[in-house]
Amino acid sequence: MITALKNSYSYLFETDLLEEIAKVATLKTFEADDIVIDIGVRLKFIPLLMSGVLKVMREDKEGDDLFLYYLQKGETCAMTLSCCMDEAKSKVRAVAETPVSLCVIPKDKMGEWLGKYKGWQKFILQSYQNKLQKFIEAVDTIAFLNMDKRLSKYLKDKVAINGSPQILITHQEVANDLYTSRVVVSRLLKSLEKEGKIKLSRNQIEVINC
DNA sequence: ACATTAAGTGATT
DNA sequence: AATCACTTAATGT
């Protein structure tokens, strides 16, 4: 546990902080597609991402999801941080994109460590800043990019996240993430294929150069 | 062989 | 870009 922690966080946290984390934290693992944090849940702990990728999304009142951004190792969810501060409910959902392991810290340590450890303070502040940036980026993507650009970016991110140009996904699922219809996705993918940027087959998209 | 699910396409708004 | 309506292709039982 402590070794895993050091692996991902030693550059951020001082050793006594690492040791204290190891004392109070527990390790949790999730399979791909597990819901790690759901909307409306009151968080009682701070999760630190040890390995794997989390997909953060927003949901509308009909239950449709809109993909926001990915979280990777060394990051935490700013939403959960603010939830821990004021006991608010989560307004986003985090789903495991790959198998995930989390280091779970009881939420009352949050404030205590803020005064005690510079590294913790820095980490929290950076997380906020980082997440704000990601969030703005996500808004930009949705508001200012055309659907075809959004799709290209989506594919590019997906490839980067799972490190393979082969994406196993249906057009319908892509459409859900981008909050559009399957027909639109199919058409755009078809034209990307004609440009030689991707290769399509059932349940799979192979990205060649996007 | 049949049913189901994924993907492709023209026409309309 | 969304929706409808329909076709075609792939896959499971």
pTM above 0.95, yes or no: no
A186 touches strand B (CB under 7 A): yes
Nucleotides in chain B near protein beta carbons (<7 Å): 6-11
The pLDDT tens digits of the residues spanning A95-136 come to: 999 999 999 998 888 889 999 999 999 999 999 999 899 989
A61 touches strand C (CB under 7 A): no
Amino acid at position A164, single letter: S
A202 touches strand C (CB under 7 A): yes
The pLDDT tens digits of the residues spanning A172-195 come to: 999 999 999 999 999 999 999 999
A146 touches strand C (CB under 7 A): yes
A147 touches strand C (CB under 7 A): yes
The pLDDT tens digits of the residues spanning A52-98 come to: 999 999 988 777 889 999 998 888 877 778 877 777 788 899 999 99
pLDDT of residue A2: 67
Nucleotides in chain C near protein beta carbons (<7 Å): 1-5, 10-11
A21 touches strand C (CB under 7 A): no
- Provide the pLDDT confidence category of residue A155 given band limits of 50, 70 and 90: very high
Nucleotide C9's nearest residue (CA vs C1') is A202
